[in-house]
Structure formats: C-alpha cells, structure tokens
C-alpha cells in the first residue's frame, strides 16, 4: 500500500441514514479503484447496522441504521479503511469480463439522431462522425476500432434501472471524450451504446438522453420479468466492477442475436477474472490483452 499522491476523501451526511464519501473531485480510474477498494473492504467487514453500500464513479454511499450503528462509529471505520487502502496499489477483486456485441452506425439510432440534429453541436455530422473528428481520427472506422479495441469497466449502475456507466481501461491520454448533446433528446432507443464526457453507457430502456449515440446492442441488459437466462437471479445484468468488451457485429449477426432474444435463449458471453490493479497499472495494454484471451478461451 502507498499513500503518496492520494487526497483525503470528503465525507457528507444525507439525513440520518446515509453517508456519502467522495474520493476525488476528478473522475478517473485511480479514484474509482480507491472507492472500490474501500467498498470491498467494508463489505468484507459488514458491521452490523450497514444496510446497503452503493459504489459510484469516484465515490460511494452507505445506508445504515443509526439505532444500531452510531454515525461517528461508521465514519471512523470508513476513515480507517481509507487510510489502509491508500492509493489502492495492492487492490484486487473477483469480477467477470463480458462481451457486448454492437452494431455500430445502426439504422435505429441513426434515425433518432437525425430527428434531433438541432440539439447537436454539429448538425451536419452524425454522432460517430463528430466523435471521430474531435478525437483526431481520420474516419469513423478508426474511432470504432479505438472504442471497441480496449475493454471498459462498469464503474456504477444506475440513473435508470440497469444502466452501466463505463470507463475505458486505457491511459488518460487515450481516453475518448465527447460532450453530451447541447440539449437532451426526448427519445433514445433501448440498448443504445452512448457516450458523454469520458464515460460510455448502455441505455437499458427507451427514454430521454443526452449522450452521443454510436450503435446498438441486440442483447438485453435489463429484464424486469426475468424471462431470459441471464436474469434468473436479478433484473439487472451489470454490476460495478464488470469488465466489458464491445464486439463489432454486422446487421446479419444482429438479426441472428435478436432472433435468440425472441426465442428466450440468448445469454451474454462472460468469464470470471481476478482483477489486479498493480498488474494493470504496470502495463495496461498487456493486461487488457490477457483479459481478452481469458474471454475468448474455451
């Protein structure tokens, strides 16, 4: 463990039952991993009175019963864990790597984005064209290759049920950054692959939204009726810490997978992995390559 270069978290109370802890004002993989390390340690200890623990991009929130666990005791415990975690250099946790097929430049998000060009920074370009240009790529395919070439980590799940916020596992200088629409849309197709700022997402349901739209996945990530195999235990597929590999597909493959959805037999590919922060930090590209080898292993 190392504490060099780390900043102290900010603790804020939400009524009588919630303690919100912001690890850093800037969202980054480093802040996220520190938050995850604290959350993981708290779950392992799970003191009586803790009701729920909710991790987020660079923060976390704890709901507790103040009649069982005194607020000052909870804060003292979290500060103790924070000190032990430090910069989370030695942090590792059990998770899974999953494959999400994506039809980039699909007709459904294209029709939607064309209806809302008056709310976009560049009404003359599609979302993919705009994202490629401002990120310095010569063409859309170059941007798609970068978007799908390195895995992403689900830093939190929320906003609407089942929606994962995704942070690409690359160095800061390679982060893809695209601003949200100037004004939000009133419509976004379900299962749209979106992007706002440095975060990607998958819209779990149809609704309003402001993220740029790059494509669509055929695989549901939210099933309130729990009819599909991936949702036997819970209505949402994603959990914080999941590692996501976007896999480009063509329209024929998209239609095949939608057919499996309609038949109630589709299942998202996934493999269990142990994520080790020290190994990832030492060589992100090599580590990501090993993760993808695990995903594609028999």
Encode pLDDT of 195-233 as tens digits. Answer: 999 999 999 999 999 999 999 999 999 999 999 999 999
Strand order in the sheet with 18-22: 10-14, 18-22, 59-64, 50-55
**pLDDT surpassing 90 at residue 139:** yes
pTM for this structure?
0.90
Tell me 33's DSSP state: H
- Is residue 16 within 8 Å of 66, Cβ to Cβ? yes
Task: Please write the tens of the pLDDT for every residue from 150-203.
Answer: 999 999 998 899 999 999 999 888 999 999 999 999 999 999 999 999 999 999
Write down the pLDDT at residue 39.
92
As a whole number of angstroms, the distance between CA 103 and CA 202 comes to: 13
CB atoms < 10 A from the CB of 248, how many?
Answer: 17
Quick one: which of 114, 110, 131, 112 has its CA closest to 123?
114
**What would the two tokens of residue 56 be?**
């987020």
As a whole number of angstroms, the distance between CA 8 and CA 18 comes to: 19
Break the chain into its structural domains and give their ranges. 10-88, 94-295
Q: Which CATH number fits domain 10-88: 3.40.50.620, 3.30.470.20, 1.20.1250.20, 3.30.1360.40?
A: 3.30.1360.40
What confidence category does residue 33 fall into, taking pLDDT thresholds of 50, 70 and 90? Answer: confident
- Is residue 221 within 8 Å of 236, Cβ to Cβ? yes
Element (H, E) at 63: strand 59-64
Helix, strand or coil for residue 100? strand
Cα 82 to its chain centre, rounded Å, is: 23
- Is residue 219 within 8 Å of 249, Cβ to Cβ? no
CATH superfamily of 94-295: Cyclophilin-like (2.40.100.10)
- Is residue 112 within 8 Å of 185, Cβ to Cβ? yes
């Amino acid at each position: 463990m190392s504490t060099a270069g780390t900043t102290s978290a900010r603790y804020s109370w939400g009524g009588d039952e919630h303690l919100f802890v912001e690890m850093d004002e800037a969202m980054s993989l480093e802040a996220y991993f520190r938050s995850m390390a604290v959350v993981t340690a708290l779950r392992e200890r799970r003191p009586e009175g803790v009701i729920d623990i909710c991790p987020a991009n660079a923060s976390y929130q704890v709901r507790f019963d103040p009649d069982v666990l005194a607020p000052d005791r909870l804060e003292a415990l979290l500060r103790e864990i924070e000190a032990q975690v430090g910069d989370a250099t030695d942090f590792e946790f059990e998770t899974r790597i999953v494959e999400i097929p994506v039809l980039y430049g699909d007709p459904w998000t294209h029709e939607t984005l064309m209806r809302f060009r008056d709310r976009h920074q560049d009404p003359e370009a599609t979302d993919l064209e705009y994202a490629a240009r401002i990120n310095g790529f010569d063409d859309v395919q170059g941007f798609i290759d970068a978007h799908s070439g390195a895995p992403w980590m689900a830093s939190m799940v929320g906003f609407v049920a089942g929606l994962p916020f995704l942070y690409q596992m690359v160095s800061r200088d390679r982060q893809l950054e695209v601003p949200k629409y100037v004004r939000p849309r009133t419509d976004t197709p379900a299962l749209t692959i979106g992007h706002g700022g440095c975060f990607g997402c998958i819209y779990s349901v149809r609704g309003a939204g402001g993220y740029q739209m790059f494509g669509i996945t055929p695989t549901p990530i939210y099933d309130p009726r729990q009819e599909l195999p991936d949702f036997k235990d819970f209505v949402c597929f994603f959990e914080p810490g999941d590692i996501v590999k976007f896999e480009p597909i063509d329209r024929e493959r998209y239609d095949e997978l939608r057919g499996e959805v309609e038949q109630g037999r589709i299942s998202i590919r996934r493999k269990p992995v142990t994520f080790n922060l020290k190994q990832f930090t030492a060589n992100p590209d090599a580590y990501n390559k090993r993760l993808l080898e695990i995903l594609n292993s028999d």
